[in-house]
Amino acid sequence: MKISQAFRFEAAHRLPNVPQTHRCHRMHGHSYRIEVVLSGAVDPHTGFVVDFFDMEEAFGPLLKTLDHHCLNEIEGLENPTAENIAIWIWERTKPRLKQLSSVKVYETGDCWAEYDGTDR
Ligand SMILES: Nc1nc2c(c(=O)[nH]1)N=C([C@H](O)[C@H](O)COP(=O)(O)OP(=O)(O)OP(=O)(O)O)CN2
Ligand SMILES: [Zn+2]
């Protein structure tokens, strides 16, 4: 069974490794949407894989680190592409949520990166 919870945050960033002519080289902002996907068996008593409230508690502190910040200034996010943000979230969430199956980072409604711990 897979369950997902979505979170949102606002942040500024610039992509330092694209050419200066690329518009994302300049500082700009996104309303990011994160999807945290968990996979596991349904507990026959609770009917949950994991309580959504527990997911919120595990992910909340990370969200605070990201929300209304300049992502480039966060340690490990010096090149804050959607891909790198997904990896960064995965590495900090997996130890707290063992059932973590993937992390999706939407920069816009149409563009996202998904990381499942492989193919880094
Ligand atoms: N593979 C990736 N490609 C790009 C990434 C990325 O993280 N991974 N990021 C960007 C930039 O962040 C850029 O800001 C994205 O811009 P865009 O999709 O155009 O979104 P906007 O909201 O700024 O665009 P509008 O068309 O004005 O809505 C680029 N590539
Ligand atoms: Zn951007």
Name the DSSP letter for residue 24. G
Alpha carbon distance, N-terminus to C-terminus of the chain: 25
C-alpha 17, offset from chain centre: 21
Catalytically annotated residues: 24, 68, 107
CA of 12 to the centre of ligand 2 (A): 8
Domain segments of the chain: what residues?
2-115
Which value does ipTM take for this structure?
0.89
User: Is residue 119 predicted with pLDDT exceeding 90?
Assistant: no
In tens, the pLDDT along 8-47 reads 999 999 999 999 999 999 999 999 999 999 999 999 999 9
Alpha-carbon distance of 23 to 9, in angstroms, equals 22
Question: How many other C-beta atoms are found inside a 10 Å radius of the C-beta of residue 37?
Answer: 16
List the beta bridge partners of residue 39. Answer: 2
Distance 24 CA to ligand 1 centre (A): 7
With cut-offs at 50, 70 and 90, classify the pLDDT of residue 79.
very high
108 pLDDT band, cuts 50/70/90, is very high
113/96 Cα distance (integer angstroms) = 21
Q: Rounded to the nearest whole angstrom, what is the distance from the C-alpha of residue 54 to the centroid of ligand 2? A: 30
- Secondary-structure class of domain 2-115 per CATH: alpha beta
pTM (2 d.p.):
0.96
Cβ–ligand 1 contact at 81 (below 6 Å):
yes
Please say if the pLDDT value at position 69 is more than 90: yes
> Sorting pLDDT into bands at 50, 70 and 90, what band is 93?
very high
Q: In whole angstroms, give the CA distance from residue 118 to residue 120.
A: 6
CB of residue 87 inside a 6 A radius of ligand 1: no
Question: Does the Cβ of 108 fall within 6 Å of ligand 1?
Answer: yes
